[in-house]
Structure 1
Amino acid sequence: MTSAAPITGFSLLRLLGRGNSAWVHLAVDEQGRRVALKLPFPETLADPESAERFANEVRLSLQLRHERLVIGHTGVAFGPGTHLAMRYFPEGTLSRWLEMGKLTTSESLGILADLAGALTYLHAQGVVHQDVKSQNVYLDSGRAALGDFGSAYFTTQGGKTAGSPFYMAPEIYRAEGSSPASDVYSLGILAYEMLTHERPFRGSTYEQLMAAHLASYPRPLVNQAPEVPRPLALLLERAFAKSPQERPDAPTLLRALEGALGRAPETGPFTPVTAAANPVVVGRHGPTTRGVGAASTLSSPEKPDRENKPAFWNPFKKR
């Protein structure tokens, strides 16, 4: 099967891509908007953990509102017609642009400022994203927005620890849980990748990447990206410090990045978003409502549970 069944209220134009859990179509909704329509695979909905992640993404995409986020227009979290219609970004993901090597230093700093703005908003709302990476950053007219809230959670409710191995903070590898500082770490890794055109930590297996994040140190950013102002380069290096306490927060990064670009920072105040008292999730016996439990280690669904890996995305699995 190469595409999903049509959803009432949308005209499908073309298939944009296929992710780990869903098809994404370019579509037109009943209001005439061009949207990115995310339709989960049948196997996604059949797996309780994957279905819960999709339901969580729908809920948060519809709740959160900021120009530097991929917001949802409409969505159904479970049952017939499950979908998420999101803002469409014609320039695609940051990962595609990094592969083409077409970003200048100034453009990279602008994207990083946009992402720091997104994290500033999320953290002010008490939300931890947990999956900041190039594949979840979308571009349009030179501006960036952060998407994919499947692993995000409100700190007041707790959530399952998750991440992507190339960008995951040491405390997540150590199964100590995540925090806003973990998002800052991922942004720091992404900054290094964007500004130097190489990843700071490398490995061909999960275990090698874990060892690198826990104990290795990359070549200094101030040497690898000399065109970046030295104070800013040093601050971005602190973003991926091993200890969460040594990392700057998102507003600090935002102010520094906007200052380097000569842009006025937007640091709030923001309209508060309240976590749903009974968020919709999908369990083994269909949709239910319940509070989310305390943070716990989440194994990758692409690996046996007994391996007890906190990452849900396995970059080494051949597809």
Structure 2
Amino acid sequence: MERNISDTPMLSNRYKLLETIGAGGMAVVYRAQDMMLERPVSIKLLRQDFSGNPAFREQFRREAKAAANLSHPNIVTVHDFGFDAGRLFIVMEYVPGKNLKALIRERGPLPVAEAVNLIAQACAGIGYAHRAGIIHCDVKPHNMIVTPDHRLKVTDFGIARALASINPDEHTDEVWGSPQYFSPEQAAGLAPSPASDVYSLGVVLYELLTGQLPFTATDAQELARQHREARPVPPRRFNRDIPPALEQIILKVLSKEPSQRYRSADQLGRLLAPFAAQPETLQPFPVEQPRSAPATFIPQAQEPASRPRPVYSQPAQPPGQHSGEGRSISDPFLSPLFTPDIIILAIIAIVLWVGMLPFGAYVLLKLGVLGVP
């Protein structure tokens, strides 16, 4: 039975657990406070039956270290991991917003441009991980957090494995990923590849555009069979707003053979770019504010790292107005022609001219130009 948050208020004498923000079959996620650095964080606390397995703890440690090396705007940053009170945990940046699955439940199918914009961001983050030799292995909308300003961040690389450690001939009875979203090769127990993440991204995009999954069943075994053998219904049958060219991309991504899909998430993202909305055209959506922490644990006000700092500019002045005194710009001494530098140069020139008058008169007198006897 999962212990209440009050039973484990502090981890490693550093992280104060504040409230539960999510739970799954493997772990519970908390909003927490890093007491050392005075910043909000998210903590995924694994269940005790997983934490008690020494082999799993070592695998988790390796994967958390790999995830901590990923630094990208579309990836939730891993700050720390550890083992305390018989529980494994991983510490991540706190990202305000909601997961993509909750967004689908609230809104149903998203407009094409908005849906593609979100998946293109997921492609950017996962593609970066692919270049670093890391496969996510569990791409699904639950692992994608969307901020109010439509920045998407992929989380939960905790089960990912370094590409270099994968034997292409590996075969195991252990299935990685979630049955609704995993690839045919994962369903068959084969080693995942970047193309496996690409397939899962295609499933998420299909769901975003149609409001439903390409394959549904009452049990995981039947779902696995459908991923391996069944052909998905073309998404345009559910949503006629999907351009035919985009439909062809989705169906290619959902190919049964990895070699028939796009090689990486980066390649998929480049192909989706023409269908994506520009970020400035998207309307922000409200999110539930976290409950206040005890006064001693409230951090100093700071902006979330995922949101760019706004740039403020001075409002434009009406024509003919000067911001200093409210005088008309038509006043010649407020004109850009009469700057302080020009005025000083003019005064110097006048002084020199006046000073040269006696000398000039003397020269002219000697030359007889003035005609003085």
Provide, for residues 190-248 of structure 1, a one-character-per-residue CA deviation record: whole Å limited to 9, x for no partner.
11111100110111112211221122112212333322332122112211111111101
Is 1:132 the equivalent of 2:146? no
Distance 2:86 2:237 in 1: 54
Contact 1:62 1:75 in 2 (8 A): no
CA distance in 2, matches of 1:212, 1:108: 25
Match of 2:191 among 163, 167, 177: 177
Q: Deviations over 1:59-90 (max 9, x none)?
A: 23311111111111222267878432211122
Counterpart check, 1:35 vs 2:37? no
Alignment partners' CA distance in 2, 1:192 and 1:229: 13
Partner of 2:176: 162
Q: Which residue of 1 aligns with 2:276?
A: 261
| Residues 117 and 254, structure 1, Cα contact 8 Å, conserved in 2 | yes
* 2:121 matched residue in structure 1: 114
Shift of 1:254: 0.8
- Residue by residue over 1:172-193, the C-alpha shift from the partner in whole angstroms, topping out at 9 and shown as x without a partner, is 2223321111110111111111
Q: Check the 8 A contact 1:105/1:227 in 2, yes or no.
A: yes
Which residues in structure 2 correspond to 1:52-67 (within 5 Å)? 52=58, 54-67=60-73
**Alignment-derived partner of residue 348 in structure 2:** none
Who is 1:2 aligned against? 4
For 1:15 and 1:208, the matched residues in 2 are separated by 33
SS of 1:14 mapped into structure 2: strand
Q: Residues 11 and 27 of structure 1 are in contact (CA less than 8 Å); yes or no, is this contact kept in structure 2?
A: yes
Aligned residue number for residue 144 of structure 1: 152
- Which of 257, 261, 266 is equivalent to 1:247? 261
Pairwise CA RMSD: 2.4
- 1:88 is matched by which residue type in structure 2? Y
Letter in 1 for 2:254: F
Secondary structure of 1:156's match?
helix
Give the TM-score of the pair, scaled to structure 1: 0.75
Deviations 1:14-35 (A, max 9, x none): 2223332333221221322211
Q: How many residue pairs align between the two structures?
A: 264
Using the aligned pairs only, state the percent identity: 28
**1:193 — aligned with what?**
207
Give SS of 2:31's match.
strand
SS in 1 for 2:98: coil
The answer to whether the 8 A contact 2:51-2:57 is kept is yes
The Cα shift of 1:49 comes to 5.3
User: Secondary structure, in 3 states, of the residue corresponding to 2:164?
Assistant: coil
Hey, what does 1:220 align to over in structure 2? Answer: 234
Letter in 2 for 1:152: A
CA distance in 1, matches of 2:125, 2:177: 18
Q: Which has the higher helix share?
A: 2
The structure with higher relative contact order (CA 8 Å, sep 6+) is 1
- Aligned equivalents of 2:55 and 2:113: distance in 1? 40
